[in-house]
Amino acid sequence: MLFDEAEYDASTKRLSALTNVEPLLTKTLASEVRKYLALNLVAQRKQEMARREFDLAVKLNPGLHIGDEAVVSPKIRRMFYTIQDNTLRKTIKASRRYTLLRAAAWPGWGHVYRGEHRKGYIYMGAQFAALTGTALSFYSFIKARQAYTSFDDLEAFKIYKRTNSVHSVRAELQNRYDGYRSSARRTNLLIALSAGIWGVGLVDAYMLTINRDRVTAAAPGGAQATLTWGDAGPIYHVQYGFVW
């Protein structure tokens, strides 16, 4: 392995070449490339460049491990874990802000952003249905109010002339008033429902960020990858674990 053989210049060039095709690699593998590149840069006393590579590696894989204590010196380990901690704090803060902004703009959008697609789409659908119902109910309320407030002496006279009954006039006025009140109550309930879905979605999105940020690091059963070098070029070793 070039790193063990202290051929840092050659190793750095090859690892840097791999970063140029990073979009073609998995995030786990790309983070390992960045990590080994940073270790090479540390050995060459290029501390700032190494810090940048460590930072990029952690962004690609928050659960990245620096390596065995017998291989990596305590000084390098301290530097890596300090960078990892700072990077995760910044990432978590930004991710939480973006999640809550999306959840505030439309219930469920924040959940979709954090990967909770099913719950997110349920919230989005419920909010759409509630707002659609509110709009239709409000339109009905406007028509009912107009029908009630437009009832005047002329209209009362027309009804009386047609039915020859005062009770018919009173019944018509009462029906319009009842329709007006009913549509008002229905509209208020739908407005409250829409506001409730928005509030519950926002709180749920906030709780989601708390629960997710507690487990930002990769689970022990996740995938791990190592990179070695041979005569034919780079050799990738990928190991997958499962948590039952």
- pLDDT for res 229: 52
Say whether 78 sits in a helix, a strand or coil.
helix
pLDDT of residue 6: 57
pTM of the entire structure? 0.60
For 10, the token pair is 């050659």
Q: At what angle do helices 47-60 and 27-43 cross, to 10 degrees?
A: 170
Question: Could you give the CA distance from residue 3 to residue 40 in angstroms, rounded to a whole number?
Answer: 7
Cα(236)–Cα(26) distance, integer angstroms: 12
- For residue 227, the model assigns a pLDDT of 52
Q: Residue 26, SS3?
A: coil
The pLDDT > 90 percentage for the chain reads 50
Q: Tell me the mean pLDDT in the region 154-165.
A: 87
- Dihedral over Cα of 86, 89, 95, 97: its sign: negative
